[in-house]
Amino acid sequence: MLRLLALTVCGGFLFGMSLTANAAEKIVITGSSTVAPLVAEIGKRFEEQNPDVRIDVQTGGSSRGINDARSGLANIGMASRSLKDEEKDLKGTAIARDGIGIILNAANMVRSLTDQQIVDIFLGKITDWSAVGGKAGPITVVNKADGRSTLELFLNHFKLKASDIKAQVIIGDNQQGIKTVAGNPNAIGYVSVGTAEFEAGQGTSVKLLSMNGIPATVENIQNGSFPLARPLTLVTKDEPSGVVRAFIDFAQSAAVHDLVKEQFFVPVLP
């Protein structure tokens, strides 16, 4: 019985080695968990058109994507933001855009907040909804975990420091943010507009606030008028070439716009 088991394992390994040896070019892509489902779908379509290429997508966050692209662990990194100044040695290509909107529980009476009110709420200077025209109740601030590019974009836009934010709940992914706010009538958070719009349409009890009077909609992100938006970026160490080049070009092309929309992102216009 044991011998059989050992034989099977060895056989399996050999079988595995031989297959991988024959396998054609493999592109490894790691990074942002926001971008990963989209790139995985684009990868599948690319594989269909190029049967000798394999695209392996792994997650771990934008910082990981940038590090892996720089160290060569991945052929392409994924980041849900544009490259920072100290990352300009890398090459970044936007494949879609994503907007970030402030969300409240649908039961919340507050219709709009000024930038200053949002800042004060996240700094803990306003702690009760009655101060901004809502029904009295303690505000639950839902913030993103460190290293999330949604957090960085939010901080940048409102000129805040991560350590100054007084949050009651720290979340990771978009869906987690929506679920937290939907389950707490006094919560305020910020998540991807496309996701929030979809969930609100599905009856989840969240609502998106306008920013500077501009409604948080997919249209306004595409036409660039919505202030809080970010590009979803593919990152390579050098100027891409060969199959990697072909894949990045494909990911930007109109041939994948349906996939971009399916993930509730906004296609980039060439």
Q: Which residues pair with 31 in a beta bridge?
A: 59, 78
Q: Least CB distance from residue 92 to other proteins, whole Å?
A: 21
User: Min. distance of Cβ 153 from other proteins in angstroms?
Assistant: 18
Q: Of the two residues 115 and 262, which places its CB atom closer to other proteins in the complex?
A: 262
Considering beta carbons, is residue 174 or 220 the nearer one to other proteins? 174
To which residue do tokens 């040896």 refer? Answer: 21
Rounded to a whole number of angstroms, the minimum distance from the CB of residue 1 to other proteins is 11
50 token code pair = 């190029």
Complex with other proteins: residue 143 or 195, whichever CB lies closer? 195
Complex with other proteins: residue 140 or 174, whichever CB lies closer: 174
Sorted by sequence, the CB contacts under 8 Å of residue 85 that are 6+ apart come out as: none
CB of 172 to other proteins, least distance (A): 7
The residue whose two tokens read 């059989």 is 4
Would you give the end-to-end CA distance of the chain in angstroms? 61
Q: Furthest-apart CA pair in the chain: how many Å? A: 74
H or E stretch at 236: strand 229-236
Q: Min. distance of Cβ 59 from other proteins in angstroms?
A: 5
In the complex, minimum distance from the CB of residue 162 to other proteins, in angstroms, rounded to a whole number: 21
Question: Which residues are at the interface with other proteins (CB under 8 A)?
Answer: 2, 5-6, 8-9, 12-13, 15-17, 19-20, 23, 28, 33-34, 36-38, 40-41, 44, 54, 56-60, 73, 172-176, 194-195, 198-199, 202, 262-264
203 — phi, psi (to 5°)?
95, 0
**Closest listed residue to residue 92, CA positions, set 253, 192, 239:** 239
| CB 209, min distance to other proteins, A | 19
Nearer to other proteins, 129 or 247 (CB): 247
The pair of three-digit structure tokens given for residue 230, joined into one six-digit string? 């970010």
**Smaller CB separation from other proteins, 176 or 205:** 176
Contacts 24+ apart (CB under 8 A), 22-27: 23/54, 24/52, 24/53, 24/54, 25/52, 25/53, 25/54, 25/243, 26/53, 26/54, 26/55, 26/56, 27/53, 27/54, 27/55, 27/56, 27/75, 27/76, 27/243, 27/244, 27/247
- Nearer CB in complex with other proteins: 15/116: 15
